[in-house]
Amino acid sequence: MAYRPEPGVGKIWAPPMHEVSLVSAAITAAVAAAQRAGAHRVERLTFSLAPTGHVTREAVETLVAALAGGTLVEGAAVAFEQNTTDPGGPELVLASIDVEVP
């Protein structure tokens, strides 16, 4: 089951070089969405990256692995899509959350 946040929800705005805060906020949002859906765990997080941003795929993957321990996000796959429609938009957007429901 895929969950797409409502417009404006899941967008994470912050100045460059704040990857820890961005990923932490994304994990918090994913856990909340999974709980609302009655999910047992999050299977995949898909992020959209700003084309001119400073946040890298490697940083996001590393931080998800480091920060998700003990949460419904622990062990989730991390996927990416390039944001080509909003070049001035946020550096990192939690685009979708795939969850496992009973």
Residue whose C-alpha is closest to residue 62's, from 98, 28, 19, 18: 19
Quickly name the fold that domain 2-100 has: hypothetical protein PF0899 fold (3.30.2320)
Task: Confirm whether pTM is higher than 0.85.
Answer: no
The domains of the chain are located at 2-100
pLDDT per residue as tens digits for the range 63-84: 999 999 999 999 999 999 977 7
The amino acid that residue 19 corresponds to is E
Cα–Cα distance measured from residue 55 to residue 69, given in angstroms and rounded to the nearest whole number? 21
Cα–Cα distance measured from residue 86 to residue 89, given in angstroms and rounded to the nearest whole number? 5
The CA-CA-CA angle for residues 45, 49, 51, to 5°, reads 165
Q: What is the pLDDT of residue 18?
A: 78
